[in-house]
Every structure is written in C-alpha cells, then in structure tokens.
Amino acid sequence: MLTVVAGLLAITNIMLAMSVLVLMLRPEKAFGWLSSLVRQEDAWRMGQLSEDDVDRLRYLAIRLHRPLLLLLFSWSFFCGALLSWVRLV
C-alpha cells in the first residue's frame, strides 16, 4: 500500500516538474490554464484576447516562476523523504 502511495507521489512530482518547466520555458503554451485563472478562458478559446490581455498573461506567467519553483522544491523534498522512508519500512 505504501509503495502505491509513494509511486503516485513520484508521478505527481514529475507532472509538477513538467508543468513548471513548460511555464518557465514556453509560457504561451500555458495561456489556456492561465486564462482560466483570470476568467478569460472563453475569450482565449475564441481567439479574442487583445495584446494587453496577452501581455497580462505573460506577466502572470513570469510572476508565477518563483512560487511554483518553491512548491516544486518542497514537493520534491517531501516525495524524496517519503520514498526513503518507504524503503526503510
């Protein structure tokens, strides 16, 4: 049972790492998710975002770098500690 939980935590860690890297390297690929955060998802789907809206989404992506990296570091540390604990048990 513990190995299943540890495996799920490892998979979530990989998914979080990929999401953070995509947001950092290619922020325009995350505009769909970011537009849902600022409640402009319908305008994004219909392609009606203005240049100001796109700049706002790009700025939001840049501002989310550090908190998401901190979250990724914390989650990776937690997953590593749990995996080492499962191996000891």
How far apart, in Å, are the Cα atoms of 26 and each of 17, 55, 65, 69, 85?
Answer: 14, 14, 12, 15, 36
Residues 6+ positions from 17 with CB-CB distance below 8 Å: 72, 76
Span 51-66, mean pLDDT? 89
Task: Summarize pLDDT for 34-44 with one digit per residue, the tens.
Answer: 888 888 888 88
SS3 38: coil
In the block, tokens 């914390």 appear at 74
| pTM, to two decimals | 0.76
Task: Summarize pLDDT for 7-57 with one digit per residue, the tens.
Answer: 888 899 999 999 999 888 988 888 888 888 888 888 888 888 888 988 988
Residue 73: pLDDT band by 50, 70, 90 thresholds? very high
pLDDT for the residue numbered 45: 85
